[in-house]
Structure 1
């Protein structure tokens, strides 16, 4: 499902523990780490997609929703990552990001799902993903983390990241 502008609707999940650290997962067969995220099905709400994707990617949906981004955040996929025979004018992803509080036991996090996407996970400092995420996703991660930080009582570090407006 690609919109008229070439973006695939998607949800992203920032899952935090009781120390406000966030779940950071490594993609299978790669050295890259990211937050869980996934595409929306037709007629599926962002919240429905988020709960489905949580079960599919981390094996549990035991979370409390703390908040979500107000608008879609977009990133463009580099041309080198486009599917070779795509018939659509695919540009990238538009995402609604959720801030979630994990409400289960860590043993319930199970990456060995029916179609695993990750092979390892860990808890990291709330802000560290901005420095670690692949470049083409960095601005979206920065926007999502900065917008949702006040829900955890976190102040955006001054001068470190200038969130550009107008990209939603």
Structure 2
């Protein structure tokens, strides 16, 4: 499903653990890391799509999470020209997303990356709040920054912490430090 402007409706998921760290996963057979996300079906609301994608990509069901907040309206990103399939009609030039902030209320042992027939991720870890905005592929960076900025005050209130602002990037586009105490699971 692609809208008249060429954007595919999509949902994104920011999942918090009990320590306020974020679920960060590696795409299967690739070196790219990202938040869970996926396209909406024409008969789904964003919330319904989010629960379906959550279960497909992480194995978590609705009872494993608490929905804290969602972004208002669509956050859009354009695909680099090399990823646009110009021969397909309608042509998809990017994605428009509603982002959800979730808190894991179940045990992290419920995370199952192979819960669907075609797993999307092969590795995951918990990372600091701003880490994903600096480490996602460049064309998604602005959307990640907008979603995280929207959620930051809620996370600060929820956990009684000061997250500060998005850290500056070094000349290579990376933040000065990587994930600390990153936990990975296959």
**Distance between the aligned counterparts of 2:167 and 2:107, measured in 1?**
37
Q: What pairs up with 1:1-168 in 2 under 5 angstroms? A: 1-61=1-61, 62-83=64-85, 85-113=87-115, 114-153=117-156, 154-157=162-165, 160=168
Which ranges in structure 2 are unaligned for 5 or more consecutive residues?
157-161, 170-186
User: 1:166 is matched with which residue?
Assistant: none
8 Å contact from structure 2 (residues 129, 163) kept in 1: no
User: 1:164 is matched with which residue?
Assistant: none
Relative to 1, partners in 2 of residues 1:158 and 1:74: Cα closer, same or farther, differing over 3 Å?
Answer: closer
8 Å contact from structure 1 (residues 146, 156) kept in 2: no
**Distance between the aligned counterparts of 2:17 and 2:167, measured in 1?**
27
8 Å contact from structure 1 (residues 23, 124) kept in 2: yes
After superposition, give the CA deviation of every residue in 1:96-124 in whole Å (9 maximum; x if it has no partner). 00000011111110001221000000000
Following TM superposition, the consecutive aligned residue runs of length 4 or more in structure 1 with deviations greater than 6 angstroms are: none
**Distance between the aligned counterparts of 1:22 and 1:133, measured in 2?**
13
8 Å contact from structure 1 (residues 10, 95) kept in 2: yes
Q: Structure 2 length normalisation: TM-score?
A: 0.82
**Distance between the aligned counterparts of 1:19 and 1:159, measured in 2?**
20
Relative to 1, partners in 2 of residues 1:64 and 1:32: Cα closer, same or farther, differing over 3 Å?
Answer: same
Relative to 1, partners in 2 of residues 1:73 and 1:158: Cα closer, same or farther, differing over 3 Å?
Answer: closer
Higher relative contact order (Cα pairs below 8 Å, separated by 6+ residues): 1
Q: CA deviation at 1:82?
A: 2.1
Which ranges in structure 1 are unaligned for 5 or more consecutive residues?
162-168
Q: CA deviation at 1:43?
A: 2.3
Q: CA deviation at 1:89?
A: 2.4
Which stretch of the first structure deviates more once superposed, 106-115 or 92-101? 106-115
**How many residues were matched structurally?**
161
Q: Structure 1 length normalisation: TM-score?
A: 0.91
